């Protein structure tokens, strides 16, 4: 199963990008043994529209266009469900077992996501009630994906 992060905005060169890439590479290398592949990041250009509703719509359309057919769509949102790392790993395992071609984690822009994407999603996940910068959400998501791979493969990185 491919793992994709579709994120509005770019990570500029610097520590956040370096850390995100480190976790992405770790997940990619370790994930192959348990049937998780890809771990790709698709950066969606931020809309330059004049109003928030139009920006949200344009960004959501761009995101929808990169989600493969039959893929599981997971939204990242501060109002989402908070999952412990083991529960997150179990959910990834369940999708893999269902023979889904991909799971796509969506990190929307500052104006949010169109309702059509909310309707399409299987799950909405949050990293607590705080609002996090998109750059940090990407790093935290990649770390949790790597942690999931280690949990599912029995690697000692995760010590519950």
pLDDT digits (tens, 9 = 90+) for 3-61: 999 999 999 999 999 999 999 999 999 999 999 988 999 999 999 999 999 999 999 99
Q: What pLDDT sits at residue 15?
A: 94
CB 42 within 8 A of CB 85: no
Q: How many domains does the chain have?
A: 1
Over residues 50-77, mean pLDDT: 96
Predicted pLDDT of residue 160 = 58
- Report yes or no on 160 lying in a domain: no
State the residue range of the domain holding 66. 2-153
pLDDT tens sequence across 87-125? 999 999 999 999 899 999 999 999 999 999 988 898 999
Residue 35 belongs to a domain: yes
pLDDT for the residue numbered 156: 82
Q: How far apart are CA 36 and CA 95, in angstroms?
A: 11
Cβ neighbours for 128, distance < 8 A, ≥ 6 positions apart: 78, 82
Token readout for 93 is 């395992």
pTM metric for this prediction: 0.94
Give 118-145 pLDDT, tens digit per residue.
Answer: 888 989 999 998 888 889 999 999 999 9
Tell me the sheet residues that pair with 107. 7, 76
Q: Is residue 143 part of a domain?
A: yes
CATH number at residue 56: 3.40.1280.10
């Amino acid at each position: 199963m491919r793992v994709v992060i579709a994120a509005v905005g770019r990570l500029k060169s610097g520590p956040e990008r370096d850390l995100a890439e480190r976790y992405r590479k770790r997940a990619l290398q370790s994930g192959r043994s348990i049937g998780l592949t890809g771990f790709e990041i698709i950066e969606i250009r931020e809309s330059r529209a004049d109003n928030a509703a139009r920006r949200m719509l344009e960004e959501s359309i761009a995101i929808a266009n990169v989600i493969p057919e039959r893929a599981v769509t997971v939204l990242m949102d501060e109002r989402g469900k908070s999952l412990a790392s083991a529960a997150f790993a179990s959910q990834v395992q369940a999708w893999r077992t269902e023979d889904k071609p991909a799971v796509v984690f969506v990190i929307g822009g500052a104006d949010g996501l169109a309702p059509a994407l909310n309707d399409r999603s299987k799950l909405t996940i949050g990293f607590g009630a705080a609002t996090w910068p998109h750059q940090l959400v990407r790093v935290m998501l990649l770390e949790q994906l790597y942690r999931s791979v280690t949990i599912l493969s029995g690697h000692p990185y995760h010590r519950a």
